[in-house]
Structure 1
Amino acid sequence: MTDAGIPTPFRADGLVAAITGGARGIGLAAGRLLVAMGARVVLMDQDEQAAIDAAREVGSGATRGLGLDVTDEAAVRAAFADVVEREGRLDILVNNAGRAIRRPSLELDLADWEAVVAVNMTGAFVCARSAAALMIEAGRGGAIVNTASVMGLSGGGLYPNISYQTTKGAIVNMTRALAVEWAAQRIRVNAVAPTWTRTGFIGELEQNPALMQRIRDVTPLGRLAEAEEVAYAIGFLASPAAAMITGTTLAVDGGFLAQ
């Protein structure tokens, strides 16, 4: 136990975490939490300056920002190699970069479909594979937490969002498959499935009060999630406290999927 009475398995002292999509929203909230848990954190984002600014906002010498386009495999490999070179190790990947293009299926250009797939599915796979290769090489195991969505477990969206729903469903099953494949190397792979969360990611939706009310109406707890609430689930799954948990998708959904 720590002096504050918090069980040490919930700490991440001495561990190094990389977070994609880390400059804002859920990724940034996860970064703040992991730093508070004792980890050294690299916030990665396509917007390099935003990642650097976010690291400054966290305000800890244990945090730095790094530009990364998850659709560029060579850049992904180089970024994770840089983490190991500069931080000495890589123990945790929060696979959080995401994109949404909310259009009906018959109006969604193939290029837009492919752009969402490139970030949400292929990018997540490339990041997981690159991080796992370094974890396996180091021989210490590790933890990967993917950001899925309630829309990856339910087709009941309140508006057309086919590419997002499809890719988040793929994340759920990729999480299972990678968990089984890498279990022998002591790499745990889990996911969180957030409901609508109050971040800039849903910014345009918040301009529609009627839709926001519908979201509250279909959520038993009657509200959107906060980024910090999703981060708490990520922190748990990334921590030694979840040592016997792998292949699981943890819904952070206010009861949405229980209906």
Structure 2
Amino acid sequence: MGSFCIDDAVAVITGGARGIGLATAEALAGAGARPILLDRDGNAANQAAEALGAGASARQLDVTQEAEVDAVFEDIAREHGRIDILVNNAGVAIRRPTTELSLADWQRVVDVNMTGAFLCARAAGRVMTAQGAGAIVNVASIMGLSGGGLYPNISYQTTKGAVVNMTRALAVEWARRGVRVNAVAPTWVETDFIAALKDNPEFVSAVERLTPIGRLAQPEEVANAILFLASPAAAMITGHVLPVDGGFLAQ
């Protein structure tokens, strides 16, 4: 694996029980890491970790709960002696026209996608800056870099845009302390997260038409980009947002 080798790295993945999170845990484990899957669905996370084997483990975590986040990360650092990688992947979407979006639904997306990412980055950052090394990869979205247009999704687009600039701000703040912070910005990925959208042939055709490569992404393709950014191969890269979008944003 060379520069992509992350043998024995303690890698924490939020939203790790399925989709991009699980694919990322598999990719990191394949490169030698010890993945720790965090998810609100503790049973699903435990089952995924058992299937992974190879030193994988799981914990139940609601990323919106400050005390819970701090306690879980402190426990991981105490048990393993360090945290080398954080993949901030937990996220939700509530797709409604802005005029019909309730404040409660807006706040739910903000709490998970933006505040949850902050809380986990802060908790991991405390450990990483103290040890003088670490890599954080946030999962943003092409919707954080564009106004979209296929359907209204204001809370998701806003929070993913916040994740983009959170990535840059943390990268600058922690660069001299040995911590790199980057993000991936996926296009629509074939996971349960967009199950309702995939059931609409017109939507899928529209994405394919707007994407130069001509298809949706696979979770493994996003996971491989995350592995790169988390690995020593990206040692000189921080504050970068890497679209995994088949050329969608290049047009």
TM-score normalised according to structure 2 size: 0.98
Q: 2:249 aligns to what?
A: 257
1:116 pairs, out of 109, 112, 120, with: 109
Number of matched pairs: 251
Shift of 1:134: 1.1
2:147 is the alignment partner of 1:151: no
Cα distance in 1 for partners of 2:34, 2:199 equals 37
Shift of 1:86: 1.9
**Are 1:151 and 1:157, in contact at CA under 8 Å, matched by a contact in 2?**
no
Q: Which amino acid aligns with 2:16?
A: G
Cα distance in 1 for partners of 2:196, 2:4 equals 36
Q: 2:85 aligns to what?
A: 92
2:202 is the alignment partner of 1:215: no
Shift of 1:184: 1.2
Cα distance in 2 for partners of 1:80, 1:239 equals 21
2:27 is the alignment partner of 1:33: yes
Deviations 1:226-245 (A, max 9, x none): 00000000000000110000
Mapping 1:47-196, distance limit 5 Å: 47-60=41-54, 62-137=55-130, 139-196=131-188
Deviations 1:132-169 (A, max 9, x none): 001122x2310000000000001023001110000000
Q: Which amino acid aligns with 1:43?
A: L
Cα distance in 2 for partners of 1:136, 1:250 equals 24
2:17 pairs, out of 23, 27, 42, with: 23
Question: SS in structure 2 opposite 1:157?
Answer: coil
Question: SS in structure 1 opposite 2:108?
Answer: helix
Cα distance in 2 for partners of 1:251, 1:55 equals 28
**Are 1:33 and 1:231, in contact at CA under 8 Å, matched by a contact in 2?**
yes
1:240 pairs, out of 223, 226, 232, with: 232
Seq. identity, %: 63
**Are 1:219 and 1:253, in contact at CA under 8 Å, matched by a contact in 2?**
yes
Shift of 1:37: 0.5
Shift of 1:33: 0.6
Question: SS in structure 1 opposite 2:35?
Answer: strand
Question: SS in structure 2 opposite 1:70?
Answer: coil
Where do 5+ consecutive residues of structure 1 fail to align?
Answer: 1-5
More deviation, 49-58/239-248: 49-58
Cα distance in 2 for partners of 1:206, 1:13 equals 37
Q: Which amino acid aligns with 2:49?
A: A
Cα distance in 2 for partners of 1:92, 1:121 equals 19
**Are 1:34 and 1:41, in contact at CA under 8 Å, matched by a contact in 2?**
yes
Cα distance in 2 for partners of 1:44, 1:166 equals 24
Question: SS in structure 1 opposite 2:87?
Answer: strand
Where do 5+ consecutive residues of structure 2 fail to align?
Answer: none
CA-atom RMSD in angstroms = 0.8
Cα distance in 2 for partners of 1:72, 1:156 equals 30
Cα distance in 1 for partners of 2:70, 2:156 equals 25
Q: Which amino acid aligns with 1:214?
A: A
